[in-house]
A and B are shown apart, each in its own frame.
Chain A
């Protein structure tokens, strides 16, 4: 998998808001391969969301290069050929437009792609169906629960048929029960659509549950302090493999506290 050309890559990326005096991110290199579900794990406020925005093209890196999927890249087939966006973002706060109905919120990213009214409607409805909210199409966002709002945010991102789906702690503000069911749905959608996902979280268990690969972002300036490939055995909660990986991830996150000490996972790396 790692030999293939990555779908998107960050190469020695650094970001500074004061002209290079202090850096938020430094020397970050990351390859994302087609079909992967990568969790970007790190403590709150470390710069995970910033990294996502750099990858999305919303922030310009001060150093290094960002190569994202291009608009006509990927295997664009069928009715969405050419009428899609290379990447889409799901925000932590759902970020729906209160003046648009649910359906028109979902269709937001479809506007400007040269689709007619009917096509936009159908694709937005398809996406809503995928997240199980078809019946809420004509409702106003303020009439939705937190979990429903987040589903709409996911549908809005999916409907542009992106190669790369970027998710910024999308379930962080939800109650545990809703979070759990949305995680299950996201996995189902990922298996159905084979999207490449980069999922930001500070929750180790969430990362282990969802991802095929976990990348740890830590330190100040933040850099990648470790990564693990996750197999089926590590996904069973409370199994020894799960607990062992959780412990290693905790160590990677804390690695910043003792930069001089040799991080023990190096020797244990597969």
Chain B
């Protein structure tokens, strides 16, 4: 094996990769290798973005999408992690729900869109519902697996020192011991949530996805790409911020 790259080298190489990617793309469009009607040149994106910002569409789309994202993530993560934790802790509940879980688990979040529209309409609630469902399962399984892998000897320790009750085990053992797994689930859900945002909005709920849909129907490919990059940026920011929370909660793992 070759020697591992230093952090500096890795960052430099990754920057070089991006330059090559955008440079090659620009060159391909300018030389006519890629038809400019189908693919926007990267150099045209700046102007497209400024137009979106001046019209106020960009800010509004982000605000709309962020609210769907935050609400869907909140409901999906909290319910998923909570029910996952309980199933991991209570065998009776686990067995009772096992059949239902197997029935519902394979249904993709997007398959719920017809019901989202029917039950909630083309609005924030409908989008939130679709996002929450897709985030729910990730957190459910992450929390469930985390509880099942808690060292059983820690339960004995809790009993020996007066914390053998259900609540004692939950708060003194299960929650802290499964925190790394639950946090990993939350983080995966954070990414999955952005994918679902676009999907949920493509059907007409205002937001980034809806704006992309409008732009593509007008063949404004540069606007579509602007919003693709916007999503990437938003994901990077949320993931970065979550990194701080995670570091704080899991200080002991450092």
Interface set of A (CB-CB < 8 Å, partner B): 53, 56, 58, 85, 88-89, 91, 93, 95, 97-100, 108-109, 111-113, 140, 142, 156, 160
Contacts and interface: CB of A to CB of B under 8 A. Distances in A.
Contacts of B160: 56, 58, 88-89
B168 interface: yes
Contacts of A100: 176, 252
B162 A85 contact: yes
18 contacts: A53-B156, A58-B159, A85-B161, A89-B160, A89-B161, A95-B153, A95-B154, A95-B157, A97-B173, A97-B176, A97-B177, A99-B252, A108-B163, A108-B172, A109-B161, A109-B162, A111-B163, A111-B172
Contacts, number: 47
Max chain B Cβ within 10 angstroms of own Cβ: one of A58, A95, A97: A97
Sorted nearest first, the 6 A-B pairs with minimum C-beta distance are: A109-B161, A89-B160, A99-B252, A99-B176, A95-B157, A140-B252
A206 to B, nearest CB: 23
A17 to B, nearest CB: 16
B161 A98 contact: no
A57 to B, nearest CB: 8
Interface string B160-181: 1111000010001100110100
Contacts of A98: 252-253
- The DSSP consensus for interface residues of chain B is helix
Contact of B161 (A93, A99, A108): A108
A98 to B, nearest CB: 6
A172 to B, nearest CB: 16
Contacts of B177: 97, 99
Given A85-B161, A99-B252, A113-B162, 9 more contacts: A58-B156, A95-B154, A97-B173, A97-B176, A97-B177, A99-B179, A108-B157, A111-B172, A140-B252
B53 to A, nearest CB: 45
A87 to B, nearest CB: 8
A112 B156 contact: no
Select the residue from A88, A112, A113 with max chain B CB neighbours within 10 A: A112
A226 B193 CA distance: 67
B180 to A, nearest CB: 9
A142 B172 CA distance: 19
A142 B254 CA distance: 10
Best-surrounded residue of A85, A111, A160 (most CB of chain B within 10 A): A111
Nearest to A95: B157
A156 B161 CA distance: 9
Nearest to B157: A95
Contacts of B172: 108, 111
Nearest to B171: A111
Interface string B203-221: 0000000000000000000
Contact of B163 (A58, A112, A142, A156): A112
A83 to B, nearest CB: 12
Contacts of B159: 58
Contacts of B179: 99
A229 to B, nearest CB: 29
A33 to B, nearest CB: 23
Contacts of A112: 162-163, 168
Contacts of A108: 157, 161, 163, 172
